Copies of this chain bind each other. A is one copy, B any other.
């Protein structure tokens, strides 16, 4: 950590700052430039990071040098994490997780129809929401446990691992009974108690980036799960808030190589929630694969006009099959593989 001292500070003030830092058990390295004095703070990492140095009089600015996350960092683990989601599907290290399915679980028949179609197209993880975070209390909130059962049944029948959202620490134990992977939604990325709770389980976690979270914020939230003992975290970019309302959010593909430089965790891209527009999903899905994403998450519905949630942004099954074909071609250029799921859960 670097402390920049206000210009025209007296030697006495500088001495007070240094003494204060020493009293916290830290060491200092004082460098006097022509216009500014700068103090390097050296010591045990956590001690440095948590010291409230900005409140000392005379301190102009605190410049953190060390990253605030540890277990999530590339320095902690050099090799890419490869997350085993179940049924032979791995994500990371060259394996792509192709997640597809409807926004909400609406009924067995329609779910089976969509799931069969996306599996035939090459999807290897089935998604569906049983608990829906809706901005309006008057919108459809999901089928709850009945939905979880349907998703488990259809996943088993088609031999696909499944992923579903969990919104509340009180739901974790129940959802854990049914799912192969938890999804933490963007609105809950900093619901720290929920992160703690899934950190206690052994299931993979798909952690979606919050709408105004930096890459460091996202990795700090991953750190909560990792610190709980659960190493199976998959990051997910799904768009950030923007000033241009012509898309639902702004897809930030640069976070893919950015996160991969800072962290060993895999990262998947969700162009459905990012753009909210079926015409933009295929090109953004292709761009995601080219950017190095470890998978793509796409909502598919066989009758968007009648979907109970987010219908307008879903691809039709034949549209999904077409973009999947192209994604496969792009992936081949970079020697990446889409595992085919199979066998028992």
Contacts and interface: CB of A to CB of B under 8 A. Distances in A.
Contact of A40 (B31, B217, B224): B31
Interface in A184-203: 187-188, 190-193, 196
A42 B34 contact: yes
Interface stretch (A82-90, A92-100, A137-145, A337-345): A137-145
Interface residues of A, number: 104
Contact of A247 (B31, B139, B220, B254): B254
A321 interface: no
A18 interface: no
Contacts of A42: 31, 33-34
Contacts of A38: 2, 40, 65
Number of copies of this chain that the complex holds: 4
Contacts of A52: 304-308, 311-312
Interface of A is mostly: mixed
Nearest to A68: B136
A167 B241 CA distance: 24
Nearest to A251: B254
Interface string A132-171: 0111111110000000000000000000000000011110
A69 B33 CA distance: 17
Given A214-B246, A254-B275, A284-B291, 11 more contacts: A29-B29, A31-B42, A34-B42, A38-B65, A52-B312, A54-B312, A133-B190, A240-B250, A253-B284, A254-B274, A257-B280
